[in-house]
Amino acid sequence: MAQGLQCFDSAGALVLDVTDRLTRILGEFTTTTANGSITDANLTSGTPWFFQVTEENPFNAICTITISGQTITWTFSSYGVKTAQTFRYGVF
């Protein structure tokens, strides 16, 4: 007999299955106005993702995010105004 979690809506349509990929939010960080990084051991527990919470301004320096192992690194472009940026991150 098959086992697992399945959720259905009121019409009987499957909306969630145990084989679906669900996200887990691990945290949020705000950069400084300089290049930097944070470490979170939980980043290795799945496929990492992130998104920017603060609004982007066309006059701001571009903040590039890279994730390697347990470390999230941010690097600002050399042009524009470097402003603190807030990001949320997690794994799925």
pLDDT digits (tens, 9 = 90+) for 49-90: 999 998 878 899 999 999 999 999 999 999 999 999 999 999
pTM of the complete model beyond 0.85: no
Q: What CA–CA distance (Å, rounded) separates 79 from 25?
A: 31
pLDDT digits (tens, 9 = 90+) for 22-40: 899 999 999 999 999 999 9
Give the number of other Cβ atoms within 10 Å of residue 2's Cβ. Answer: 5
